[in-house]
Amino acid sequence: MSSIILKLSVVAIWVASVAGSLIDPRAGIPSKPTPGQLRVVENSGVCETTPGVYQASGYGDLSSTKSMWFWFFESRNDPENAPLTLWLEGGRGTSSMRGLFQENGPCRINNDSSSVSLNPYSWNEVSNVLYIDQPIGVGFSYGPEDLLAAITEDEAATDVWNFLQLFFADSRFSKYKASNFGIWTELYGASYAAVFGNYFLDQNDRIANGSISGTPINLKSIGVGGGVFDPLFQYPFYEDYAVSNPYAQLISARTVLDQTRLWYASDNSGILKMIQDCYATSYEENKIVCWNAVLAANQGWVDTLFGSFNPYYVRSNENYPPSVTPYLSNAALQAKIGAQGTYNDTNIYVAYSLEEGGVWLHDHSQEIANLINKGISTLFWAGDADFYGNYMAQELLLISLPTNFQDGMYETPLTNYNVNGHSAGVFKQVDSWSYVRVSGAGHQVGAYGGNSLERGQTALQFFNQTITQGHIFST
Ligand SMILES: *[C@@H]1O[C@H](CO)[C@@H](O)[C@H](O)[C@H]1NC(C)=O
Ligand SMILES: *[C@@H]1O[C@H](CO)[C@@H](O)[C@H](O)[C@H]1NC(C)=O
Ligand SMILES: *[C@@H]1O[C@H](CO)[C@@H](O)[C@H](O)[C@H]1NC(C)=O
Ligand SMILES: *[C@@H]1O[C@H](CO)[C@@H](O)[C@H](O)[C@H]1NC(C)=O
């Protein structure tokens, strides 16, 4: 008798668990790619815990071997009418999970790197937000190893456009097709904004003239934090910043002199000459020219200029924001969100491949200017404690980029940027182009607060203003 009861209860448990796997959205996603479709976990309960706010995570299978990881959060307010924002981490080859958990997502990684807290200043307060790990190989996205060794920005643009086609074709997300679309990013991601933005607009033209079919991308805004997209122009400002930023002199006068001589050296060691040679070389022509230039410029020159300071936040050497790798490497967490394989916070092969081909040392200023001139609402921002994307270079770019607003930017002074009456920095704005320098913040501006403002409050205001009003203003 007792053994029958035991068997019955075993059966009952088995039935319950099968039924559970059919209806439990957290039971994971198919392990095999489904080319041309999304594999999705809906409402995993991870990160966004605001009641009633929809989220989905999973893969867009570009082919049987290329799967792009995404995480979508519906806007906490009025999702049907809110814009759709794409966040792309820069790095190069760094996961967008950093932006999600360290800066602007619905939750923040805690100091223990293994738990999270709800973020009241998440960008999905005002927008539907889509985080994508790209190029393939970065974060949770995966693909063949040989592919990682030869990625270019143009290929990355094609992959992301293809992903968006799958996304908009999916019945869960097709309602966002016509939403105002934005590309928001930082540091090297400025190059993604430049290349992807122009590619998306060209694809829209091709759809309009019937040469391809697809869903047009309704690109309306671009946001770039501490953007580096013209190293030849921007690199000299690393010296200026090292000598005279608001916080500390980063290196000795002796080192500045040595590095200046190295920059201008007329023999083969000259950094300026090496970058110029790379600029003059096409990707296929001579990889070694650009590879040598990248090594000499970044490792030999730039990396000397911040001394022993943290180049993302020169005010402190604390490990902040905390790493997301321990949290995202947890197998139980991965199963909940449908992630497969190793979490690659930064994929060095992808990084090398972008650097080696000279993609890193390219001038994207004309492409950025094209987008601005087409009236796409554009925001540049910089934390004043950021060395890498320093405000000195940003503020010269405002008047040197070949835009329709060059004169206006030159004539408009920087004035106070307030958030609810608290001073957050200085800004200027001409037509659809805005710039803000945030006081006290490091590179990842959304991770900082200060001066009676909470972490992320300033970033949410400039984001919201740009996507809803087309430019920023003091409040
Ligand atoms: C987390 O670490 C940062 C930087 O070390 C520190 O300023 C902050 O107070 C810490 N937060 C908590 C809740 O301990
Ligand atoms: C992570 O990167 C390593 C090489 O850096 C690679 O072997 C591995 O396949 C990558 N993981 C994924 C999920 O792509
Ligand atoms: C369609 O538009 C694309 C992008 O602007 C252009 O390159 C192509 O020549 C156009 N094709 C036709 C048939 O007009
Ligand atoms: C976002 O901007 C709109 C105006 O465009 C405003 O009504 C709303 O309060 C703002 N939201 C936040 C969170 O700042």
Phi, psi of 453 (to 5 degrees): -105, 140
What sign results for the dihedral spanned by CA atoms 218, 187, 166, 119? negative
Q: Which two tokens stand for residue 216?
A: 């047009």
Q: How confident is the model at residue 23 (pLDDT cuts 50, 70, 90)?
A: very low
Cα end-to-end distance, the chain, whole Å:
76
Query: How confident is residue 20, by pLDDT bands cut at 50, 70 and 90?
Result: very low
- Residues near ligand 1 (Cβ within 6 A): 111, 318, 320
Q: Residue 324's closest CA among 105, 83, 107, 109?
A: 109
CB 365, CB 402: distance < 8 Å: yes
CB 372 within 8 A of CB 339: no
SS3 (DSSP) at 162: helix
Instruction: Name all residues whose Cβ lies below 6 A of ligand 3.
Output: 202, 205-206, 209, 211
Looking at the whole model, is its pTM more than 0.85? yes
**Closest approach atom of ligand 2 to CA 342:** 13
Give residue 357's pLDDT band: very low, low, confident or very high (50, 70, 90).
low
CA distance 138 to 89: 10
From the CA of 465, give the closest atom in ligand 4: 2
Distance from the Cα of residue 283 to its chain's centroid: 24
Report which bound ligand comes closest to the CA of 339: 2
Amino acid occupying residue 427: F
Spatial neighbors of 187 by CB under 8 A, at least 6 apart, are 90, 91, 225, 226, 227, 228, 388, 389, 443
| CB burial of residue 193 (10 Å; 0-12, 13-18, 19+) | buried
Q: For tokens 């939750």, what's the residue? A: 107
Higher-confidence position of 424 and 147: 424
Give 397 Cα–ligand 4 centroid separation in angstroms.
29
pLDDT tens string 112-166: 999 999 999 999 999 999 999 999 999 999 998 766 666 788 899 999 999 999 9
Residue-wise pLDDT tens digits, 234-258: 999 999 999 999 999 999 999 999 9
Which residues, in sequence order, are bridge partners of residue 381?
225, 436
Q: What is the pLDDT of residue 286?
A: 67
Residue closest via CA to ligand 3's atom 2 equals 206
- Asked if 465 and 473 count as a contact pair (C-beta separation under 8 A), the reply is yes
What proportion of the chain, given as a percentage, has pLDDT over 70? 92
The CA 22 to ligand 3 mean position distance, Å, reads 47
- Closest Cα partner for 451 from 420, 424, 415, 414? 424
